[in-house]
A and B are shown apart, each in its own frame.
Chain A
Amino acid sequence: TQLLEQSPQFLSIQEGENLTVYCNSSSVFSSLQWYRQEPGEGPVLLVTVVTGGEVKKLKRLTFQFGDARKDSSLHITAAQPGDTGLYLCAGGNTGNQFYFGTGTSLTVIP
């Protein structure tokens, strides 16, 4: 099993603040994905990064894949209550499945 650890596990911030979520592993992945999950629903894909050092921006969300392709971060600027949810990273290789991280539960308080 290729473990992905996310930090922090829980995060509660005020609307308008910035935050960063981290995803770390001792394993190298050929690609890494970030998902957001709301209670009672399945995860929804936000982004896929495949190149070491790659940075992708999706509106107020910035995703970075580490140079060594073992870690990733998600930065949210000016968080809004609609950003509340469970953020999951998932690493994949040339095999057929993605390994999911432990998740970061984000609450944005209005």
Chain B
Amino acid sequence: DTGVSQNPRHKITKRGQNVTFRCDPISEHNRLYWYRQTLGQGPEFLTYFQNEAQLEKSRLLSDRFSAERPKGSFSTLEIQRTEQGDSAMYLCASSFANYGYTFGSGTRLTVV
């Protein structure tokens, strides 16, 4: 069990560019979550998958954001036409059923 892996750890991009992040959850976990965290704040929920089905999306997830989890394994989060306000730490977590989350180390996005 190697835990939850997120790549890349850091991403700097110019405003207007598209970015994609990847999350590899713990293999036995059927649930996968994406959260966003800004400095000094708690994580904010973005979206949730159970296996390959995306079951819930936050209103924070504008149409520029899209997430997938093909085959119920790894997940990707894509942000199109990035804005400076998208700068944050993007956290992925996985769990089995409704037990506690195991978080990855996050991807820190900086939009310049």
Residues of A bordering B, CB below 8 Å: 4, 6, 31, 33, 35, 40-45, 48, 88, 90, 92, 94-103, 105
Q: Are B103 and A97 in contact (CB under 8 A)?
A: no
Q: Are B103 and A43 in contact (CB under 8 A)?
A: yes
Proximity bits, B31-50, A CB within 8 Å = 1, else 0: 10101000011111100101
Q: A6-B42, A98-B101 known; 16 other A-B pairs, CB under 8 Å?
A: A31-B98, A33-B100, A33-B101, A35-B103, A40-B108, A41-B106, A42-B104, A43-B91, A45-B100, A48-B99, A88-B43, A94-B98, A100-B44, A101-B42, A102-B41, A103-B40
Partner of A42, one of B4, B31, B50: B4
With contact pairs A45-B102, A103-B40 given, residues A96 and B91 touching in the complex (Cβ less than 8 Å): no
Q: How far is the CA of A68 from the CA of B45 in the complex (A)?
A: 25
Cβ of B26 within 8 Å of any chain A Cβ, yes or no, is no
B interface, how many residues as a size bin?
A: 20 to 34
Partner of B93, one of A6, A31, A42, A105: A42
Q: How far is the CA of A99 from the CA of B44 in the complex (A)?
A: 7
Q: How far is the CA of A26 from the CA of B55 in the complex (A)?
A: 26
Q: How far is the CA of A88 from the CA of B100 in the complex (A)?
A: 13
Q: What is the minimal beta-carbon distance from B88 to any residue of chain A, in angstroms?
A: 13
Q: Are B42 and A100 in contact (CB under 8 A)?
A: yes
Q: How far is the CA of A85 from the CA of B104 in the complex (A)?
A: 17
Q: Are A96 and B42 in contact (CB under 8 A)?
A: no
List of B residues within 8 angstroms of A48 by Cβ: 99-100
Q: Are A100 and B43 in contact (CB under 8 A)?
A: yes
List of A residues within 8 angstroms of B31 by Cβ: 96
